[in-house]
Amino acid sequence: MKNNIKIPLLFFILIYFNQGWSDLPSQAIYYLTRETWGLNAGTIGFISFITALAWYIKVIWGFCLDFVKLGKNSTRNYLLISYSIIIGICLYVCLCGLNFWSLIITGLILNCCIGICDTGNDKQMIIYEQKYNLKGRLQAVQWSSLGVAGLLVAILGAKIPDIFSVNVAYKVAYGSSAIIPLIIIIYLLTNYTEQKSKPKKCNWKLICKELKNKQLLISLLFIGCLQLCPSFGTALMIKAREELLVSKMFLGYLGATGTVLGLIGYGLYYWKCYKFSMQKMLYFMIIFTACTNLFYLYIPNQWYLLLYNLLFGTISGITFLTLLALFAQIVPKGNEGMFYALITSLSNLCVKGGSWIGGVIYDNWGYGSTVILSSVLTLICIFLIPALKIKK
């Protein structure tokens, strides 16, 4: 990155690393809810949808960070409070365990805290991205950090349930996930210097004007339709565990392989792909996703899962950052934290909605129908791309 100022990369790296690290309990929770509690795919999707509520209302966190100040070092104070609560929740789960309702409540609180930290991070990221025309490269750094955390989580998240019983494994995972928030708190108190911004009042007229912008609305429609396409992630997990009898550790290695390939994709985007036409990249993203989804209709054994990872993992990393670059480009200048939070709120809502819908489709019509519908509906989104006026 060539620019006239020093970008505090460690800040962005730590915040996003924790987002990846916070997924450490997810595999243990899947085994708890599906293989111990016996919940169906639709119910698992519903729990995921509800606990992710904080990510659909990120615009509220953006508003608070922009206009509701907590002292002189407002952003740092928001982060310190949030990470302290995260540590407290993790300790509660370790000591008291989980049932259906406490899983939902603790999940809601954890996601609220992580969402606030993510919003504070993204506000700064958007300013740097737009000011220095980074074209998604700072996002590539962030998501590479998250990917490295995801690589560790893929292995440890599988190893922990493989070593411990289900009712112990998730407690160990939650306890371990509190480590990085503690490191971040120490960093914030000792090495973080907050960039001060001039106090400003909320300009509702300007916000309403931007919300009526036709191009912003078309972009939001495209993002919403694309992300709402039914996901077959839970269905694939059930098929792997209950039909193909794939071991927990193989799934962990599979996730690690996908993460490494995704990181390679992030690196390629940072190096070369950011220079390509975004519109052409979006066309490629839609066609690639729709076509590669169909390969998952044929999985005779676990090695085909590994093969598909190897074939598609790197390109998936590139296409993912293409979508994030679109997010950054359509944010209006001024109130970046709130508007980027609005875009990601919509995206997160639709992603979780797609996962829930995918689970319901699987429960009622089976695995094949879920995959086919996912591909068809993704491909239809291609007709919205010509309406997007993308900066060259």
State pLDDT tens for residues 58-68: 888 888 887 88
- Reported as a pLDDT band with limits 50, 70 and 90, residue 202 is low
Q: In sequence order, which residues have a C-beta less than 8 Å from that of residue 14 and are 6 or more positions away?
A: 145, 180, 183, 184, 187
Tokens of 323: 């979508």
**pTM > 0.85: yes or no:** no
pLDDT over 90 at 293, yes or no: yes
Name the DSSP class of 132.
T
Helix (H) or strand (E) holding 172: helix 166-177
Residue (of 114, 70, 137) closest to 275 by Cα position: 137
- The predicted-structure confidence for 221-277, as pLDDT tens digits, reads as follows 898 889 889 988 888 988 998 889 988 888 888 888 888 888 898 888 878 887 888
**Which structural domains are found in the chain, ordered by start?**
9-193+203-387 (1.20.1250.20)
User: Average pLDDT for residues 140-152, to the nearest whole number?
Assistant: 86
Say which residue, 284 or 120, is predicted with more confidence: 284
Report the alpha-carbon distance of residue 163 to residue 149 in Å, rounded: 21
pLDDT in tens, 82-114: 999 999 999 999 999 999 999 999 999 999 999
| Widest CA span in the chain | 60
Residue 352 C-beta-side C-alpha neighbours within 13 Å = 18
DSSP for 241-304, written as a single string? IIIS---HHHHHHHHHHHHHHHHHHHHHHHHTGGGS-HHHHHHHHHHHHHHHHHHTT--SSHHH
Give me the pLDDT at residue 276, please: 85
For the stretch 356-367, pLDDT in tens is 899 899 999 999
